[in-house]
Amino acid sequence: MLTTKEAIERRRSIRKFKAKPIPEDYITELLNAARLAPSGCNAQPWRFKIVEKPDIKAKLAQAAYDQAFIATAPIVIVCCADIQGYLDGTVSGAQDLGKIAAIEDRIVTILEHKAERLKTVERDELGPRIAANVAIAIEHIVLRALDFGLGSCWIRLIDEQRVREMFEWDDSIYVVALLPLGYPAESPEARKRLQLRDILID
């Protein structure tokens, strides 16, 4: 098992995969890692679809502007936000946090008002906003996958509507990213990163 530091440092975006299948219990572990992610008001808006069928993976690759490598992964996880689930979960989650005094009553009230205002926001604006929560869960999957020797690559360059229509999901689902996953068939060098001094604002 890797330490968190090792996982963070060793992770690479993997775009070449072995054909070797992924054991089902690994997938369960990855979804558990996602489930444990933090989220605003503990609303937990992440939803996942595991795709193994070659024809569906090929369609996903097409919907990602023909990033063909996606279809070569044994599994593609379609990572989504449940917009309605988020709206409902924000209010109940804030109230639950208030009951256990994790947050002040004053903050619960602010969050309830915020949730009320969110209901008036257009779906196309809400999806990307809620996506921040889903992104944390996705990165949990990405990092935990390294414990099983698995690699993945975030895919955000997607035609969101096309992916949603493929599965006949209504517009309460916002597709955040695809995550092709498998045993790496490449060992890329670390990509360039900004220096510490470059990421601090005066």
Ligand X SMILES: Cc1cc2nc3c(=O)[nH]c(=O)nc-3n(C[C@H](O)[C@H](O)[C@H](O)COP(=O)(O)O)c2cc1C
Contact residues toward ligand X (CB under 6 A) are 12-13, 15, 67, 153-157, 188, 191
Q: How far is the CB of 157 from ligand X (least distance, A)?
A: 3
Closer residue to ligand X in complex, CB, 1/194: 194
Find out whether 37 and 137 touch, Cβ atoms under 8 Å. Answer: yes
Residue 75, Ramachandran bin (φ over 0: left; ψ between -120 and 50: alpha; else beta)? beta
Closer residue to ligand X in complex, CB, 67/72: 67
Q: Which residues pair with 184 in a beta bridge?
A: 17
Q: How far is the CB of 68 from ligand X (least distance, A)?
A: 11
Q: Say which amino acid occupies 196.
A: L
* Residue 170 CB-half CA count within 13 A: 4
Closer residue to ligand X in complex, CB, 13/161: 13
| Residue 197: both structure tokens together | 């001094």
Closer residue to ligand X in complex, CB, 191/197: 191
Closer residue to ligand X in complex, CB, 10/113: 10
- Cα 187 from Cα 41, distance rounded (Å): 39
Burial class of residue 192, CB neighbours in 10 A (0-12, 13-18, 19+): exposed
Q: How far is the CB of 96 from ligand X (least distance, A)?
A: 30
Q: How far is the CB of 3 from ligand X (least distance, A)?
A: 18
Find out whether 140 and 34 touch, Cβ atoms under 8 Å. Answer: yes
Q: How far is the CB of 188 from ligand X (least distance, A)?
A: 6
What Cα–Cα distance (Å) separates residue 115 from each residue in 17, 97, 109?
Answer: 42, 15, 10
